[in-house]
């Protein structure tokens, strides 16, 4: 195995934003949805771009809902967001060992950077691909291919790490190796069904996989 580049999803993979996301969806749906949504139903919205999720609620008010969601999300961001255990120390070690690290997220870049800075990891990544940087979001391979282009990296030497099916499928579609994270809010069994090459019990497992 000759992995030199590691790409990461952000929310639910490196930083725990799950409760913030659920709270922001709950707030937004409370204003715009015609019926209440249970927590289990809101979990289905985690991962895809906001536009895709809100199109299912009311296509005529998608932009209003996105604005409401983002306002709540930003105003409450620092009260919720933390890095998952072993993430910062593992990424620091990989960075110092010479691995190229990148972020591939369905968030807009400014919001992604806010979470990275808050958790002290923004300096560790050589590229951040946000929603506005691509035409097609994950699971389309475009975001990963764009990151590889910016890093001058090969798919065959890259590992994509994520907490949701679209991360694993995007890696498969782009020709990279893939790793799921067992702490995904969707459940380990759900993510395992998409056949990632590896399943991480904690982020520091990457050091064992890579031999560093």
9 classed as catalytic: yes
Instruction: Using alpha carbons, select from 130, 116, 127 the residue that is nearest to residue 150.
Output: 127
Report the alpha-carbon distance of residue 202 to residue 200 in Å, rounded: 5
Structure-block tokens of residue 171: 């890696």
Report the alpha-carbon distance of residue 36 to residue 209 in Å, rounded: 44
Catalytic one among 9, 11, 16, 163? 9
Q: Which residues are catalytic?
A: 9
């Amino acid at each position: 195995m000759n992995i030199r580049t590691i790409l990461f999803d952000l929310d639910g993979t490196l930083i725990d934003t799950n409760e913030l996301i659920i709270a922001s969806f709950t707030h937004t749906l409370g204003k715009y949805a015609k019926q209440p949504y249970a927590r289990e139903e809101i979990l289905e919205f985690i991962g895809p771009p906001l536009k895709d999720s809100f199109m299912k609620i009311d296509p005529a008010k998608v932009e209003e809902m996105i604005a409401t969601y983002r306002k709540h999300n930003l105003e409450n961001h620092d009260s919720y967001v933390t890095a998952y255990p072993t993430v910062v120390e593992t990424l620091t070690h990989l960075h110092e060992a010479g691995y190229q690290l990148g972020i591939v997220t369905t968030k807009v870049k400014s919001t992604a950077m806010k979470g990275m800075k808050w958790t002290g990891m923004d300096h560790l990544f050589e590229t951040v691909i946000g929603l506005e940087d691509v035409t097609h979001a994950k699971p389309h391979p475009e975001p990963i291919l764009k990151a590889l282009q910016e890093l001058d990296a090969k798919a065959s030497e890259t590992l994509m790490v994520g907490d949701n099916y679209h991360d694993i499928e995007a890696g498969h579609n782009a020709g990279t190796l893939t790793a799921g994270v067992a702490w995904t809010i969707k459940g380990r069994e759900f993510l395992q069904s998409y056949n990632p090459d590896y399943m991480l019990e904690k982020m520091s497992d990457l050091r064992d996989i890579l031999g560093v």
